[in-house]
Amino acid sequence: MSLRLNNIYLSIIGKPNSGKSTLFNLLLGKNISPVGDEYGLTKILYEEKFKYKEHNFTIVDTPGLRRRNKVIEENEKSRNAEVLKLMDKVDVIILLIDSKENLTKQDFRLADLSINRNKMLFFIFNKFDTIENKKEFKRNIKKFLTNSYSKYKMINIDFISAKYNRKISNVLNNIIKKDNLLSVQIQKTKLNKFLKDLDKKSSYPKIGKISVKPKYIVQLKNKLPNFKVFINTKNKIPSIFQRYFDNEFRKYFKLDGIPIKYEFIRSKNPYTN
């Protein structure tokens, strides 16, 4: 029997006062980072380790990030720069959102920053205890994100209450589950079957009268799931195709909520007829 000891490097980011330090302390079971209603309380990075199931987590609490145009003071600027640097290093990012405030532009800016860095991203709605109609709130959030956030498939969503220790293990279990998906290896035959099935559906986006089609896929050896996709055109590959392909691919292989890198190669491809 082999016990796989996984190391997961995790950071909590978000707007001031969303409850980052409360969650951080709860996960560690100690009061390390200061907590309170006073705004902008956390001023340095706090890095600690904890164990959950067979997994070693390293977790970092960060200062709240306000919208850029609100940040004038030099100290706050350099704190923000530190958080951005940290985001390059970690594997998983928890974007902690205050449910009372709902989603804001700043949350989406932070989400983009981590998606562009190919990080595994969790939208965690904290202070869920303050929401009266919980079912409706969840439904509305999910509906809003599916309809108006094109990167919806790349993220994970959960609802917690850090202060009252509710649903925290859901988040950790979900992180572990998704972390396992990162090492997915898809067999060649399955990749080819996917292309065949996609072809049968023939719902490819068109440029003019011509359908843009994938002809061949290979998985590259890499830390993150990474695929080379050969396309039947010499022209620039439209982003609508890239999104379409990503959606279908994730649906087929059940790979929602993790970063996937594609390299789309334009060619009249030599591998197929």
Given Mg ion, ligand GTP, none, residue 178, with its beta carbon under 5 to 8 Å by kind, binds none
Stretch that binds ligand GTP, among 35-43, 67-75, 176-184, 207-215 (CB under 6 A): 35-43
Dihedral sign computed on CA atoms, order 155, 159, 174, 26: positive
Query: What's the Cα-to-Cα distance from 242 to each of 175, 199, 256, rounded to whole Å?
Result: 26, 16, 16
Q: Which of residues 201-220 bind Mg ion (CB under 5 A)?
A: none
Is position 169 an interface residue for ligand GTP (rule: CB under 6 A)?
no
Task: Select the span of 117-125, 133-141, 156-164, 199-207 touching ligand GTP (CB under 6 A).
Answer: 156-164
Q: Which of 11, 13, 21, 168 binds ligand GTP (CB under 6 A)?
A: 21
Q: Report how far Cα 34 is from the mean position of its chain's Cα atoms.
A: 27
| Structure-block tokens of residue 105 | 């532009």
Is the dihedral angle over the CA atoms 181, 185, 190, 195 positive or is it negative?
Answer: positive
21 touches Mg ion (CB under 5 A): yes
Mark the segment that binds ligand GTP (CB under 6 A) among 44-52, 123-131, 136-144, 250-258: 123-131
Buried b (16+ CB within 10 A) or exposed e, 56-68: ebebbbbbbbeee
What residues between 41 and 70 interact with Mg ion by CB under 5 A?
Answer: 41-42
**Structural contact between residues 264 and 231, judged by C-beta atoms closer than 8 angstroms:** yes
* Closest approach of Mg ion to the CB of residue 60, in Å: 12
Q: Which of 11, 19, 79, 111 binds ligand GTP (CB under 6 A)?
A: 19
The DSSP secondary-structure symbol of 238 reads P
Q: Which amino acid is at 60?
A: V
Give the span between the Cα atoms of 157 and 116, in whole angstroms.
18
We find the least distance from the C-beta atom of residue 162 to ligand GTP, in angstroms, to be: 4
Kindly state whether residue 79 participates in binding ligand GTP, applying the rule CB under 6 A: no
> How many alpha carbons fall within 13 Å on the CB side of residue 228?
11
Contact footprint for ligand GTP (CB under 6 A): 16-22, 35-37, 39-42, 63-64, 126-127, 129-130, 161-163
